[in-house]
Structure 1
Amino acid sequence: MGTIRETLTRALSGTTGPSSDFDFGGAPPGEVALRPAGVLAAFDAVDGRLILTKRASSLRHHPGQIALPGGKVDPGDADEIAAALREAHEEVGLDPARVEVLGTMPAHRTITGFAMTPVLALVHGPFAPVPEMGEVEEVFTVPFAHVSDPANYHVEGRIWRGARRDYYVAPWGPYYIWGATARVLHSLATRIAR
């Protein structure tokens, strides 16, 4: 398969098109201005482990969910890449100087009105996470082999606001990776498998 860098770079040259929380049905609201956001899919440059967070259970939006570090583009951010790097530094203490950005995948439209751009990157050197108090309950890593294998993803669903919503899940140990995070990672796994 080659090195982690080679594998991710090859995946970036593939195509899967944009994705959406509405991929499995349900109509998105009419024309709405999506808010730009960036999330960092940061893989250890040596062993390929992906950094993920468990959001604090006290948060108003997506409490307790597993997520890639990231967030909305703020006025001081140059673009989605800058937002992802800034947020990863704030949320998990990842020094941007240790991050090698490889590129971006097409934006994922979330049900909450964001155009979430996944930024693929490598982390060089040791990384000791520092979870942001009140935002991040836990920082953990997932093996590259789990994230990059499409067979580890399947579709589940639940009733949300009176309608059935289907979504990808990719559970790993005690962590239930689902929704937009799993959808973005599934797109990456599909690109890697081609």
Structure 2
Amino acid sequence: MIDIARFLESPALSPTIEQIRAALDALNTQHIYNPDQHIAPEAYQHDYRAAAVLIPIRSCPDTGELKVLLTQRSLNMRNHPGQIAFPGGKHDTEDSSIQYTALRETLEEVGLAPDCFELLGELGEYCSISGFCIKPVVAEMIRTSELSLSEAEVESVHWVPLYHLLDPNNFKYIERTIGKITRGYFEIHYEDLRIWGVTAGIIFGLYQAIENHSRS
């Protein structure tokens, strides 16, 4: 069980690409802690389906600052319209690997080809209330390319500073009662973006992986 109050008071992290790679190499957990799954286990009784997201990280050429690509889902999508997410989607039986799924979805959604990236590693799976176990694949963007957004899936894209996402002071933990069930999730705000639910939970998992490795 994660001590959420302790996490919210933890120091910010500003890792290098190599430190991220080392943390992911050393990672041995199978799942990212999802507080909602623990306080509302009855909502997580699924036959889970596999999915993947890509966490694309680039170094700004002028400053060296690391930034993370996030998308805003199309406002016309049936599921989660307008929410902030990483590029990704469900694993198809034709996909050769879960890493291929993350790269394929990124190409389809924002037009960035697999050769734009060097894979750094993976986080544990994040199991969602919608019935997916999502594998986050972390990648460094090594080649710049013009974005080409899928109008059906992506409203806009945003490069958010990694240091902002890895600062627990920018997190909120929210519990909300819906009917008779109490739900819990993380939320991060950056400028006019509200990053919450699965996406914030995966960012929390990235923080945990890097922080745990820094203490080892």
User: Displacement, 1:163?
Assistant: 2.8
Higher gyration radius (CA): 2
Q: Distance in 1 between matches of 2:191 and 2:57?
A: 19
When residues 191 and 24 of structure 1 are mapped into structure 2, their CA distance, relative to the original with a 3 A threshold, is: same
SS at match of 2:136: strand
The one of 162, 165, 186 aligned to 1:147 = 165
The TM-score normalised by the length of structure 1 is 0.90
Corresponding residue number in structure 1 for 2:192: 174
Per-residue CA distance 1:124-167 (angstroms, 9 max, x = gap): 13233222112110111100111222332220233446533210
The answer (yes or no) to whether the contact 1:55–1:136 under 8 Å persists in 2 is yes
Say which is worse superposed, 149-158 or 96-105, in terms of deviation.
149-158
Corresponding residue number in structure 1 for 2:41: 27
Return the letter of the residue paired with 1:5.
Answer: I
The one of 16, 22, 32 aligned to 1:4 = 16
Q: Distance in 1 between matches of 2:57 and 2:17?
A: 9
The TM-score normalised by the length of structure 2 is 0.81
SS at match of 2:57: strand
RMSD: 2.2
SS at match of 2:79: coil
The answer (yes or no) to whether the contact 2:111–2:147 under 8 Å persists in 1 is yes
Is there any run of 5+ residues in structure 1 with no aligned partner, and where? none
Q: Distance in 2 between matches of 1:132 and 1:43?
A: 20
When residues 43 and 113 of structure 1 are mapped into structure 2, their CA distance, relative to the original with a 3 A threshold, is: same
The answer (yes or no) to whether the contact 1:107–1:118 under 8 Å persists in 2 is yes
SS at match of 1:119: strand
Q: Distance in 2 between matches of 1:24 and 1:168?
A: 14
The answer (yes or no) to whether the contact 1:16–1:187 under 8 Å persists in 2 is no
Per-residue CA distance 1:62-89 (angstroms, 9 max, x = gap): 1111000000001221121110000000
User: Displacement, 1:21?
Assistant: 6.3
State yes or no: 1:105 paired with 2:123: yes
The answer (yes or no) to whether the contact 1:18–1:108 under 8 Å persists in 2 is yes
When residues 109 and 2 of structure 1 are mapped into structure 2, their CA distance, relative to the original with a 3 A threshold, is: closer
SS at match of 1:190: helix
Q: Distance in 2 between matches of 1:16 and 1:60?
A: 33
SS at match of 1:132: coil
User: Displacement, 1:3?
Assistant: 6.5
Per-residue CA distance 1:24-50 (angstroms, 9 max, x = gap): 510145753211001001100453210
SS at match of 2:159: strand
